[in-house]
Amino acid sequence: MSENTKEIYISITGLKPKSFWATIRFWMLAIPSFKQAQSAKGNLFCEVKNIQRFQCTLTAWESRDIMLEFLRSGPHLKAMKAFHNIATGKTFGYSASAIPNWEEAFELLQSKGRNYDH
């Protein structure tokens, strides 16, 4: 990798609510969490997409440490605390020099993601 290429941290999630009522709670937590991510320090890219019934997020950050600051604060922290009661799914994060497209991101999530099916 050249000296001019800056590494960024990519975070991919794909979640499925467990039930109708869990879906309502999921969205009540997901919308504020997404708004938090959009304005978070160090966030370079933030999108959501429904893929194969997974509610997916794809974010890019200046660094893993900055992403972890976001992860452990505000609405996102509240959503994480409720996660096991309302959804199943996967997460995957890695360092890269570019943001993947959605097809690449979902493939990485499926093949390398940490599974949370509790």
Note the pLDDT of residue 96. Answer: 97
Structure-token pair, residue 53: 């019934």
Would you say residue 117 has pLDDT above 80? no
DSSP state string for 26-85: HHHHHHHHHHHHHHSTTEEEEEEEEETTEEEEEEEES-HHHHHHHHTSHHHHHHHHHHHH
Is residue 16 in a domain?
yes
- pTM value is 0.90
Pairing between β-strand 8-17 and β-strand 54-61 as defined by DSSP bridges: antiparallel
Q: Does a structural domain hold residue 3?
A: no
Q: What is the pLDDT of residue 3?
A: 52
Q: Is the pLDDT of residue 20 over 60?
A: yes
In a domain, 2, yes or no: no
Confidence of residue 6 (pLDDT cuts 50, 70, 90): confident
Q: Indicate which CATH number applies to the domain containing 76.
A: 3.30.70.100
Helix (H) or strand (E) holding 92: strand 87-96
Bridge partner list, 51:
54
Give pLDDT tens digits for 48-107: 999 999 999 999 999 999 999 999 999 999 999 998 899 999 999 999 999 999 999 999
Domain-located, residue 1: no
What pLDDT does residue 2 have? 46
Question: Based on the structure, what is the number of domains in the chain?
Answer: 1
Q: Would you say residue 43 lies in a domain?
A: yes
